[in-house]
A = this chain, B = another copy of it.
Amino acid sequence: MDDLDRQILDILRRDARTPYTEIADEIGTSEGTVRNRVERMMDDGVIERFTISTRTGNVQAMLEIGVAVDVDTNGVAERMAEWAEVDLVWMVSGEQDIVLVVDAADTRGVNDLITKARNQEEVVSTKTRLILEEQLG
């Protein structure tokens, strides 16, 4: 992980479809070098995946969810990952155990999801934050 790697990552984070030749020009090296480095970073797990970020609904939110102490948090998380509006599930430390990152049609959609979460028998608490704006690091 040197500076060249970091430059490649920065470019790909902003547009993962940037051609290797264009990246190479921008950072002053050859297409082959960029390709080799991207491959190496994928092998090493530095690049986890090529993906898309989407916005299908109009309301983004974080749902922080606490589950009962005697429960298989992983199983609950897996189940919630299947819910249509859920983009991402994190298992976290702290007073809650699971964080859902969701993309709902509207605030009612968020509310329905909260209700759905609270209806799970393992869930003991929820806390919701609307995501008002997002910026890439």
Check B131–A62 contact: CB distance below 8 A: no
The interface residues of chain B lying within 8 Å CB-to-CB of A62 are 90, 92, 99
Q: Nearest residue in B to A1 (C-beta to C-beta)?
A: B56
Chain A 109-137, CB-CB to B under 8 Å as 1, else 0, gives 00000000000000000011111111111
Tell me whether A51 and B13 are in contact in the complex, defined as CB-CB below 8 angstroms, given that A91-B132, A99-B62, A129-B94 are known contacts.
yes
13 A-B pairs in the complex with CB atoms less than 8 angstroms apart: A46-B55, A46-B56, A51-B51, A62-B92, A81-B135, A87-B136, A88-B135, A89-B136, A89-B137, A90-B133, A91-B131, A93-B130, A99-B131
A24 contacts B by Cβ under 8 Å = no
Classify chain A: how many residues form its interface, as a range: 35 or more
The interface residues of chain B lying within 8 Å CB-to-CB of A133 are 74, 77, 90-91
Check A92–B130 contact: CB distance below 8 A: yes
The interface residues of chain B lying within 8 Å CB-to-CB of A48 are 52-55
The binding surface of chain A is classed by DSSP as strand
A118 to B9, CA, bound (A): 28
With both chains docked as a complex, state the minimum distance between the C-beta of A128 and any C-beta of chain B, in angstroms.
8
A108 contacts B by Cβ under 8 Å = no
Check B12–A92 contact: CB distance below 8 A: no
Check A52–B56 contact: CB distance below 8 A: no
